[in-house]
Chain A
Amino acid sequence: MSTQTATQAKGAAPPGQFRRLPMHWLGVVPFAAFVLLFLILPTMKIVIGAFQTPDGGFTLANVSGLFTSSILAAYWISIKISFTSAILGCLIGFAMAAAVVLGGLPRAIRGPLLTFSGVASNFAGVPLAFAFLATLGPVGLVTVFLRSELGIDLRLLGFNILSFWGLTITYLFFQIPLMILIITPALDGLKREWREAASILGATNAQYWRLVAFPILLPSLLGTLALLFANAFGAVATAIALTGSSLNIVPILLFAQIRGDVLGDPHLGYALAFGMIVVTGIANAIYIWLRARSERWLK
C-alpha cells in the first residue's frame, strides 16, 4: 500500500512516487495554511513593516527611530529586569532543585515540587500581579507585618512594588519554577559513576563540582538563562496589571502604542515590535544551541 511505498522509498525512488507525493503533502495543508496565516504572515507583516515607509518604500528610518533616549531607556530597563530575574531565577531554582535531587531530602518531596512548579510557572499574568500587590503592596501582608511587628518600613527602605525590584521579584514567581522544571532532569543526568571515578582519582568534592559537574551542567544553565530571559522579556500582562503604565518597559510601551499610537508614528510601532522579536529570537537561539550541546551528556 502507499504507506509501504513511503517507508521503503527512502533511498531509491520508485517511478510511481512522484505522482503520489502531492497527495501526501495534502495532509499537512490545513496546518500549513493555519500557521502561515496566523503565525508566519502576521510576524512577517511586523518585520517588513519595520523597514517600510508609510507608502511602502524601503527605509531604515523606523529602526533608527528606536535609538531615541526614551525608547532606548525602555529597552534597557526591560533587558535589565529580564536579565536580573533570569539570573536570580536560575540561582534560586538551581539551589532548590539541587537541594531536592542531591541534598538527600526525602524522595517524596520531588513529585509535589515538580507538580507545583508546573502550576506556578503557568500562574503568570494579571492574577500574579494581584497576589504580589496583596503581599508586598503598600497594605500587603508582608509589608504590614514587617512594619507593625518588626518596625521595618519597606517604603522608607526605598522598596516599591511598582518598580524595577518589585517587577523582578514578581517575575521570579514564574521564573524559578521554570528553572526547576528544566534543571531537575539535567541534575538527574549527573551519573553516579562520574563522581565515583573522580573520587577514585583523588578529587575532592569541590574539585568534582568545579571540574566535572559544573562544565557538564554549564550548557544547561546558560541555555535556561537565555530561555528565562526571553520568558520575562515577552511578559506583558503581569507588568501592566502590576504597574499600569508607570514603568517604561518595552511590552508596556508597545501595548500603549497598539492601543493609541503614543509614539505618533505607526511604523515606529512595527520597529518596536521587531526589536522585541530580535531580542527574544537571539535569546531562544542561544537556548536551542546550548540545549543541543547539553543533551550530548544527558542520554
Chain B
Amino acid sequence: MKRLWAWAALIIGLLYFILPLVGMTNFSLKMRRGEYSFDAYAKVFADSRFHETFSYSVWMALLTIIFGVFLVVPTAYWVRLKLPFLRPYIEFITLLPLVIPAIVIVFGYIRLYNTSSWLPLTGSYVGTDILLVFGYATLSLPYMYRAVDTGLRTIDVTTLTEAAQSLGAGWVTIIGRIILPNVTVAVMSGAFVTFAIVMGEFTMAALLNKPAFGPYMQLLGANRAYEPAALAVIAFGITWACLGLMQLVSRLQKTPQRPV
C-alpha cells in the first residue's frame, strides 16, 4: 500500500517534469504543417545572430571561468592556509549573490559605473564586456567558491605547501603547479555550473545591452513561434550536458585523494 502511494507520488511528479520537455521538443519539430521536421532548428542555425550571440556567450563563459579560477583558487587556498578564522565570513560573502537578486546587482553596476563616475565602465563597449564578466563571476561565486573549497578540504594544504617551500617553490609555483592540479576536479565542477549559468543568463546581459544568448532567446521568443521551442531544446541540452558532466566529475572526486 505504502509502495503504491510512493510510486503514485513519484510518477505524477515526474509527469509534471517530462510533459514540458516533451511539449517543447514536440513543438520545435512542428514548423512544417502536418509533419515533423527539423525546419525550426535549420532556421535557428541559419540565423547569423544565433551564431553571434551564441559564440559571444561562450566567450563570456570562458572568460568568466578563467577569471573565477584566478580569483577563487588563490583566495580559498590562502584562507585555508593562513587565515582559517576568516572562512565563515568569506563563505557568507560568497553566498550573498544568492540573496541579492541579479537585477539589483546589475542596477547597482549601471548606477555606480556610469559615464560620469570615477570608473566609467558602462561608457565603452569593452568596458561593458568587462562589467558583464565581473557580473557573471559574481553570480557564479557561490558555486565556484564552494566547489573549490570542498576540493581543498580533500588535500592536505599545509603539508603540500611546506613540502613545496622546502624544495624552494615560490607562491606562484605552489598555487599554479601544486594546488591547482590537486583541485582540478573541483575547479571543473565549478566551471561547468558557471558555463551553464552564463549561457542562459538574461537579466544582466539585457540591462547592459550586450548581444548575449539569453537576450537573443528572449527577443526571438517575442517574435517567432517555433524557433523559441528549438532554442529551448538546445538550451536544455547545454544545461543537461554541463550539469551532467559536473555530476560525473564530482563523482570522480568522491574517491579520497589523500596525497601520500
The judgment on whether A and B are partners is yes
Which residues of chain A have a CB within 8 Å of any CB of chain B? 1, 3, 6-7, 24-25, 27-28, 30-31, 34-35, 37-39, 41-46, 49, 92, 95-96, 98-100, 102-105, 109, 113, 115-116, 118-120, 122-136, 140-142, 172-173, 176, 230, 233-234, 236-237, 240-241, 244, 251, 254-255, 258-259, 269-270, 273, 276-277, 280-281, 284
Which residues of chain B have a CB within 8 Å of any CB of chain A? 2-3, 5-7, 9-10, 13, 16-17, 19-24, 26-28, 71-72, 74-75, 78-79, 81-83, 86, 90, 93, 96-112, 134-135, 137-138, 141, 158, 161-162, 165, 193, 196-197, 200-203, 206-207, 214, 217-218, 221-222, 228-229, 231-232, 235-236, 239-240, 243-244, 246-247
With A3-B158, A134-B28 known to touch, is A24 a contact of B20 (CB < 8 Å)? no
Complex A-B: 18 CB contacts under 8 Å: A27-B83, A28-B86, A39-B105, A41-B108, A45-B111, A96-B13, A113-B10, A125-B200, A126-B217, A126-B232, A132-B20, A134-B23, A173-B17, A255-B203, A255-B207, A273-B107, A277-B99, A284-B99
Find A172's partner among B9, B16, B83 (CB 8 Å cutoff): B16
Task: Flag if A100 contacts B10 (CB, 8 Å).
Answer: yes
With A27-B75, A127-B200 known to touch, is A99 a contact of B7 (CB < 8 Å)? yes
A258 to B214, CA, bound (A): 18
Residue of A nearest to B133 (CB): A38
Q: Known contacts A98-B6, A241-B221; can you find 14 more A-B pairs with CB under 8 A?
A: A45-B111, A100-B6, A100-B10, A105-B7, A115-B244, A125-B214, A130-B232, A176-B16, A234-B101, A237-B202, A255-B206, A258-B110, A273-B103, A280-B99
Nearest CB in chain B: distance from A183 CB, A:
13
Residue of A nearest to B27 (CB): A134
Task: Flag if A123 contacts B108 (CB, 8 Å).
Answer: no
Residues of B within 8 A of A254 (CB): 103-104, 107
Query: Which of B81, B111, B193 is packed against the most chain A CB atoms within 10 Å?
Result: B111
Residues of A within 8 A of B240 (CB): 119
Task: Flag if B101 contacts A236 (CB, 8 Å).
Answer: yes
Task: Flag if B26 contacts A134 (CB, 8 Å).
Answer: yes
Task: Flag if A118 contacts B232 (CB, 8 Å).
Answer: no
Task: Flag if A45 contacts B86 (CB, 8 Å).
Answer: no
Task: Flag if B82 contacts A99 (CB, 8 Å).
Answer: no
Nearest CB in chain B: distance from A284 CB, A:
5
Nearest CB in chain B: distance from A212 CB, A:
18
A118 to B197, CA, bound (A): 13
Task: Flag if A104 contacts B6 (CB, 8 Å).
Answer: yes
A288 to B19, CA, bound (A): 34
Find B200's partner among A92, A124, A134 (CB 8 Å cutoff): A124
Residues of B within 8 A of A99 (CB): 5-7, 9-10, 13
Residue of B nearest to A172 (CB): B16
Task: Flag if A96 contacts B10 (CB, 8 Å).
Answer: yes
With A100-B10, A134-B229 known to touch, is A1 a contact of B165 (CB < 8 Å)? yes
Residues of A within 8 A of B90 (CB): 28, 31
Residues of A within 8 A of B229 (CB): 130-131, 133-134
Task: Flag if A126 contacts B214 (CB, 8 Å).
Answer: yes
Task: Flag if B23 contacts A28 (CB, 8 Å).
Answer: no
Residues of A within 8 A of B2 (CB): 103-104
Residue of A nearest to B196 (CB): A122
A230 to B99, CA, bound (A): 7
A12 to B236, CA, bound (A): 56
Residue of B nearest to A49 (CB): B111
Residues of A within 8 A of B22 (CB): 135, 141
